[in-house]
Chains A and B, each alone.
Chain A
Amino acid sequence: MKDLITLNVFRYQPEKSKEPTYQEYEIPYHKDWVILDALNYIKDQIDGSLTYRWSCRMGVCGSCGMMVNGKPVLTCATFLESYTPGPIRIEPLENFPVIRDLVIDMSDFLEKLKKVKPWIIRKDVGSEDREYLQTPSQLADYKQYSMCINCMLCYAACPVYGLEPEFIGPAALALAQRYNMDSRDEGKNQRMKALSHDTGIWQCTFVGDCSAVCPKNVDPAGAIQRYKVEGASNWWKTLLLPYASKD
């Protein structure tokens, strides 16, 4: 007889009921299945109405983040085996509004992402006849922060974001740092305005869960702390030398 494992899946179908429910699915257990394989099995074989996001199934697209037994994970990179004998509880990412079943509304995150201007800012944009050279060590300065795949696991893990929804949050701050530390970028002062605000870096209390759950080892908590040191020294500089500050 085949081994079975039970999945307890969060369901929210606004046209049927205003309240979310949990539905139990018993599926065959395979040692080499990830949670996403199990969800795909449910959708194909048991219940086609189950809704969730996924795309690449290889930890690059960042769309299959969910809460598994209360922890935010990429379901394509998390094996059923880690949760035997089950049951396994699957819920949408915490701290976000739910649209349907396991699908969350990410518009708040996208708004915040825009605020930190996550692109290279230069005064001489448009001169296509030149290259912007960078040494390997200049690349190494920001490379870690550029690995972010916008999966939002860090937002689901961040207790501060849960309590203070206006907090810009870990991934956006780490991405700001990615561009600030890029030797080709000249937009640091512009970004600092959004970041040194009360809803920016100063709301972080260094819980560190964002870095613990990050599937790409981006370490947003580290990025924010480095930013605080810089923000604080800037603050003292403008206090002590008010006429020396630029912009």
Chain B
Amino acid sequence: MKRSFEPFWWSLFGAGGALSALFLPILLLIFFIAIPLDLIRSPSFETVSEILEMWWLKLILTGVISLSMFHWAHRFRFTLEEGLQLHRWDRIIAVICYGTAIITTLLSLIFLY
């Protein structure tokens, strides 16, 4: 029997959903609400780059960025295919969606390391 590849994408989708639900509200609260409203002092560029030198923070950040993108990719793929009835373009839609997530992951690796 043909082995389904769906579990692979679904694992990334599920992990991305869990991670983004945990971390994105915190990041949004800090960078899009607290800092613009002057509730906390904006860290300088140097401080941020210094913090980002910590290897485990890099790891978490890459994980959050990459898996959130895979979460988006999987959901967007099915929104297009089922919501807009584009199922016959499955291959190309999947390549574009997951490709975007893979490229974003590579970019985050390049910029962080």
Q: Which residue numbers of A lie inside 8 Å of B, CB to CB?
A: 159-160, 163-164, 193, 196-198, 202, 205, 228-229, 231-232, 234-236
Whether B14 pairs with A193 at a CB distance below 8 angstroms is no
Of B4-12, B24-32, B57-65, B96-104, the segment with at least 4 beta carbons within 8 Å of chain A is B4-12
Whether B4 pairs with A202 at a CB distance below 8 angstroms is yes
**B82 close to chain A: CB less than 8 A:** yes
Interfacial chain A residues near B6, Cβ < 8 Å: 198, 202
**Contact check: which of A159, A193, A202 meets B7 at CB < 8 Å?**
A202
Docked CA distance A235–B6 (Å): 9
Whether B82 pairs with A231 at a CB distance below 8 angstroms is no
Tell me the smallest distance from the CB of A205 to a CB of chain B, in Å. 5
Mostly, the A contact residues are helix
Docked CA distance A228–B7 (Å): 8
Q: Select from chain B the residue with minimum beta-carbon distance to A159.
A: B82
**B85 close to chain A: CB less than 8 A:** yes
Interfacial chain B residues near A234, Cβ < 8 Å: 7
Interfacial chain B residues near A229, Cβ < 8 Å: 14
Q: Select from chain B the residue with minimum beta-carbon distance to A203.
A: B6
Given known contacts A163-B87, A193-B1, A197-B1, is B7 in contact with A232 (CB within 8 Å)?
Answer: yes
Docked CA distance A159–B1 (Å): 27
Tell me the smallest distance from the CB of A246 to a CB of chain B, in Å. 16
Tell me the smallest distance from the CB of B11 to a CB of chain A, in Å. 5
Whether A196 pairs with B7 at a CB distance below 8 angstroms is yes
Whether A205 pairs with B4 at a CB distance below 8 angstroms is no
Docked CA distance A229–B11 (Å): 8
Whether A235 pairs with B7 at a CB distance below 8 angstroms is yes
Interfacial chain B residues near A193, Cβ < 8 Å: 1
Tell me the smallest distance from the CB of B78 to a CB of chain A, in Å. 5
Tell me the smallest distance from the CB of B17 to a CB of chain A, in Å. 10
Other A-B pairs, 8, CB within 8 Å; known A198-B4, A205-B78 = A163-B87, A196-B4, A196-B7, A202-B4, A229-B14, A231-B7, A232-B14, A234-B7
Whether A163 pairs with B11 at a CB distance below 8 angstroms is no
* The 8 A-B residue pairs with the shortest CB-CB distance in the complex, in nearest-first order: A235-B7, A202-B6, A232-B7, A232-B11, A205-B78, A198-B4, A231-B7, A232-B10
**Contact check: which of A197, A198, A205, A235 meets B11 at CB < 8 Å?**
A235
**Contact check: which of B1, B4, B82, B85 meets A160 at CB < 8 Å?**
B82
